[in-house]
Structure 1
Amino acid sequence: MKKYFLIGLLSVSLCSLAQESLPLVVQQKNELDQNSWVKNVPFERIYTPEIGNQINHFDIRKDNPLEWMVAPASGGLWLSKDAGITYENIFQNQPTQQIKTFAVHWGKGIIWVATPYGLFTSKDKGNSWFFGGLPEFKTIESVHINSRNTDEVVVAVLGNPFDADEKRGVFKTSDEGKTWQHSLFVGNRAGVSQIIDTPNGQTLFASVWHDESTTWKSIPYGSMSAVYKSEDFGTSWSKVSTDGFLSGNFIGKIGLAAHGDEKVYAVVDNRGSKTRSVATRNLAKITNIHLLERDFEAMNKTDFLNLDDNKLNAFLHAIGQDKKYTAQNLKDMISAEITSPARLMIFLGIRQQEVIGAEVYVTSDGGKTWQKTHSQPLEDVFYQNGNQFGAITVDPNNDKHLFIGAYPLLESVDGGKSWQSKHNVSLDNSFEKIYYRNNTLYATSKKGLAISYTQGKDWIFRNVPQSVSFTKIGYDKHQKSLFLASEQGVFMSKNNIWTKISSQRQLFGSENDIYVGSGNGIFYRYNVEKNTFLRLKSLYTSENKAPLRFGKQTPLLVSQHNSDVLYVGSNKMRFSSDRGQNWRTISEDLTIGSKKGNDIYATISAIAESPLSVGLLYVGSDDGTIHITSNGGTTWQSMYASNSNAFKVNNLVASKHHQKRVFATFSHPDKTNPEPLIFMSEDQGVTWTELRSNLPDGRINIVKEDPKNEQIIYLGTDSGLYVSFNLGESWHSFGSLPATGILDIFINDGTSDILVSTAGYGVFKSSLEVIQPLRVAIVAQDFFPLREKVRIEHSNRWGNTWSDWESPELPITHFEVFASKEMKLQIKIMKGKVTLQSFTYKTSKGFNYIPYDMTISSVGKVMFERVAKRISLETASDGRVYLPKGEYTIVFSVEGGFDEERILEIY
Structure 2
Amino acid sequence: MQKASLLLLAFICNLYIVLQAQENPYQKIFEAVQWRELGPPRAGRVSGVCGVNSDAQTYYMAATGGGVWKTADKGESWKNISDGYFGGSIGAVEVSTSDPDILYVGTGEETLRGNMSSGNGIWRSTDAGRTWAHMGLAGTKQISRVRIHRKDPNNVLVAAIGNVFRPSPQRGIFKSIDGGKNWRKVLYISDTVGASDLAIDPTNSQIMYAGMWHVLRNPYQFVSGGSGSGIYKSMDGGESWQNLTQNEGLPEGIWGKVTLSICPQRPERIYAMIENLNGGLYRSDDSGKTWEKVNSENKLRQRSWYFTRVYADPKNPDGVYVLNVSLHYSKDGGKTFSEVNTSHGDHHDLWLDPSNSQRMIVGHDGGAQISENGGKSWSSIYNQPTAQFYRVKVDNHVPFRIYAAQQDNSAIRINSRSVGNKIGFADWESTAGGESGYIVPDPIDPEIVIGGSYGGYLTLYDHNRDISRAINVWPDNPIGHGAEDLKYRFQWNFPIFYSAHDSSKLYVASNHLHVSKDRGQSWSTISPDLTKNDKSRQKASGGPVTKDNTSVEYYCTIFCAAESPAVEGLLWTGSDDGLVYVSKDAGKNWTNVSPPQLPEWTLINSIEPDPKDPSVCYLAATSYKNGDDRPYLFRTNDFGKTWLLITKGIALDHFTRCIRVDALDPFVIYAGTEKGIYISYNKGELWYPLQQNLPITPITDLVIKNNSLIASTQGRGLWIIDNLEPIRKANKSIQKPQLFTPNPSLRDYGSSQEKPTPHGKNLPSEIMLYSYFPNWSKKDTALIFLISDSNDTVSISSNFPTASQNKVEIKAGSNLILIPYTGSPATSFDNMVLWWSSLKGPSAYPGQYKIILKSNAFTDSLYCRIDKDPRFPVTDEDVKKNYDFIKSLRNKIDEAHKCILEMRDIKNQMNNFFSGLPDSDSLKELKLIKSEIDSIFTQVEQNLYQTKNKSNQDPINYPIKLTNKLGHLIALYGESSFPPPQQAIEFRDETFVKVDQEINRYKITASTQLQTLNEKIRILQLDAIRPKKIENKKG
What is the TM-score normalised by the length of structure 2? Answer: 0.66
The equivalent position to 1:83 in structure 2, one of 74, 88, 93, is 74
The equivalent position to 1:388 in structure 2, one of 306, 321, 325, is 306
Question: Are residues 481 and 817 of structure 1, via their aligned partners in 2, closer, same or farther at CA, if it must alter by over 3 Å?
Answer: closer
Is 1:829 the counterpart of 2:782? The answer is yes
- In structure 2, what is the Cα distance between the partners aligned to 1:889 and 1:118? 53
Is 1:492 the counterpart of 2:397? The answer is no
2:492 is aligned to 552
The equivalent position to 2:42 in structure 1, one of 39, 51, 54, is 51
- In structure 1, what is the Cα distance between the partners aligned to 2:44 and 2:318? 32
Within a 5 Å distance, the mapping from 1:654-733 to structure 2 comes to: 654-670=609-625, 673-696=628-651, 697-728=653-684, 729-733=686-690
The equivalent position to 1:240 in structure 2, one of 229, 240, 244, is 244
Equivalent residues, number: 756
1:625 is aligned to 579
Q: Give a deviation string over 1:393-446, Cα, whole Å, max 9, x none.
A: 111122211121213443332222x223426999x9422223445234543221
* Structure 2 SS opposite 1:65: strand
Compute the displacement of 1:519 (Å). 2.1
Q: Larger % of helix: which?
A: 2
Compute the displacement of 1:161 (Å). 1.3
Is 1:579 the counterpart of 2:519? The answer is yes
* Structure 1 SS opposite 2:298: coil
Within a 5 Å distance, the mapping from 1:245-394 to structure 2 comes to: 245-246=249-250, 248-260=252-264, 261-270=267-276, 272=277, 356=278, 358-374=279-295, 377-383=296-302, 385-394=303-312
1:433 is aligned to 349
Is 1:187 the counterpart of 2:208? The answer is no
Q: Give a deviation string over 1:20-44, Cα, whole Å, max 9, x none.
A: xxx9999665445995754431233
Q: Is the 8 A contact 2:161 2:171 kept in 1?
A: yes
- In structure 1, what is the Cα distance between the partners aligned to 2:539 and 2:507? 27
2:968 is aligned to none
Q: Is the 8 A contact 2:439 2:451 kept in 1?
A: yes
Question: Are residues 497 and 31 of structure 1, via their aligned partners in 2, closer, same or farther at CA, if it must alter by over 3 Å?
Answer: closer
The equivalent position to 1:735 in structure 2, one of 692, 696, 703, is 692
Amino acid at match of 1:269: E
Compute the displacement of 1:521 (Å). 1.8
2:61 is aligned to 70
Identity, in percent, stands at 23
1:646 is aligned to 601
Q: Is the 8 A contact 1:36 1:733 kept in 2?
A: no
Q: Give a deviation string over 1:225-259, Cα, whole Å, max 9, x none.
A: 11122233333333233312535441010111111
- In structure 1, what is the Cα distance between the partners aligned to 2:827 and 2:133? 52
Question: Are residues 245 and 563 of structure 1, via their aligned partners in 2, closer, same or farther at CA, if it must alter by over 3 Å?
Answer: farther
1:597 is aligned to 539
- In structure 1, what is the Cα distance between the partners aligned to 2:745 and 2:459? 44
**Aligned-residue CA RMSD (Å):** 4.1
- In structure 2, what is the Cα distance between the partners aligned to 1:794 and 1:219? 57
Question: Are residues 234 and 812 of structure 1, via their aligned partners in 2, closer, same or farther at CA, if it must alter by over 3 Å?
Answer: farther
Is 1:471 the counterpart of 2:390? The answer is yes
Structure 1 residues not aligned, in runs of 5+: 1-6, 9-22, 273-355, 799-809, 856-870
What is the TM-score normalised by the length of structure 1? Answer: 0.75
Q: Is the 8 A contact 2:595 2:643 kept in 1?
A: no
Question: Are residues 659 and 716 of structure 1, via their aligned partners in 2, closer, same or farther at CA, if it must alter by over 3 Å?
Answer: same
2:889 is aligned to none
1:902 is aligned to 861
Which moved further from structure 2: 458-467 or 104-113?
A: 458-467
Within a 5 Å distance, the mapping from 1:864-875 to structure 2 comes to: none
- In structure 2, what is the Cα distance between the partners aligned to 1:269 and 1:528? 44
Q: Is the 8 A contact 2:577 2:603 kept in 1?
A: yes
Question: Are residues 101 and 828 of structure 1, via their aligned partners in 2, closer, same or farther at CA, if it must alter by over 3 Å?
Answer: same
- In structure 2, what is the Cα distance between the partners aligned to 1:387 and 1:545? 24
Q: Is the 8 A contact 2:47 2:348 kept in 1?
A: no
Compute the displacement of 1:114 (Å). 2.5
Amino acid at match of 1:739: I
Compute the displacement of 1:554 (Å). 1.5
Compute the displacement of 1:162 (Å). 2.5
Q: Give a deviation string over 1:790-814, Cα, whole Å, max 9, x none.
A: 999999x99xxxxxxxxxxx99876
Question: Are residues 761 and 877 of structure 1, via their aligned partners in 2, closer, same or farther at CA, if it must alter by over 3 Å?
Answer: farther
The equivalent position to 2:566 in structure 1, one of 602, 609, 612, is 612
* Structure 2 SS opposite 1:449: strand
Task: Pick the structure with greater CA Rg.
Answer: 2
Within a 5 Å distance, the mapping from 1:6-155 to structure 2 comes to: 29-32=21-24, 38-48=30-40, 50-108=41-99, 109-115=101-107, 116-155=119-158
The equivalent position to 2:214 in structure 1, one of 188, 210, 217, is 210
Which moved further from structure 2: 606-615 or 723-732?
A: 723-732
* Structure 1 SS opposite 2:305: helix
Q: Give a deviation string over 1:116-149, Cα, whole Å, max 9, x none.
A: 2332211111222222112243112211222322
Amino acid at match of 1:539: W
Question: Are residues 164 and 144 of structure 1, via their aligned partners in 2, closer, same or farther at CA, if it must alter by over 3 Å?
Answer: same
2:510 is aligned to 570
Compute the displacement of 1:624 (Å). 0.8
Q: Is the 8 A contact 1:26 1:117 kept in 2?
A: no
1:290 is aligned to none
- In structure 1, what is the Cα distance between the partners aligned to 2:383 and 2:496? 33
- In structure 2, what is the Cα distance between the partners aligned to 1:126 and 1:457? 30
Question: Are residues 448 and 171 of structure 1, via their aligned partners in 2, closer, same or farther at CA, if it must alter by over 3 Å?
Answer: same
Question: Are residues 816 and 161 of structure 1, via their aligned partners in 2, closer, same or farther at CA, if it must alter by over 3 Å?
Answer: same
* Structure 2 SS opposite 1:525: strand
Within a 5 Å distance, the mapping from 1:418-567 to structure 2 comes to: 418-422=335-339, 429-437=345-353, 438-440=357-359, 442-451=361-370, 460-462=379-381, 464-478=383-397, 481-487=401-407, 488-493=409-414, 497-502=427-432, 504-505=434-435, 506-510=437-441, 511-512=443-444, 514-539=449-474, 547-567=487-507
Q: Is the 8 A contact 1:826 1:841 kept in 2?
A: no
Question: Are residues 153 and 878 of structure 1, via their aligned partners in 2, closer, same or farther at CA, if it must alter by over 3 Å?
Answer: farther
Amino acid at match of 2:290: T
* Structure 1 SS opposite 2:140: coil
2:172 is aligned to 169
* Structure 2 SS opposite 1:381: helix
Within a 5 Å distance, the mapping from 1:759-778 to structure 2 comes to: 759-771=714-726, 774=729, 778=732
Amino acid at match of 1:231: M
Q: Larger % of strand: which?
A: 1
Q: Is the 8 A contact 2:624 2:630 kept in 1?
A: no
- In structure 2, what is the Cα distance between the partners aligned to 1:144 and 1:625? 45
Q: Is the 8 A contact 2:21 2:687 kept in 1?
A: no
1:779 is aligned to 733
Q: Give a deviation string over 1:495-518, Cα, whole Å, max 9, x none.
A: 754332356122332333521112
Question: Are residues 738 and 36 of structure 1, via their aligned partners in 2, closer, same or farther at CA, if it must alter by over 3 Å?
Answer: farther
Q: Give a deviation string over 1:149-173, Cα, whole Å, max 9, x none.
A: 2222211111121211111111222
* Structure 2 SS opposite 1:373: strand
1:802 is aligned to none
Compute the displacement of 1:360 (Å). 1.6
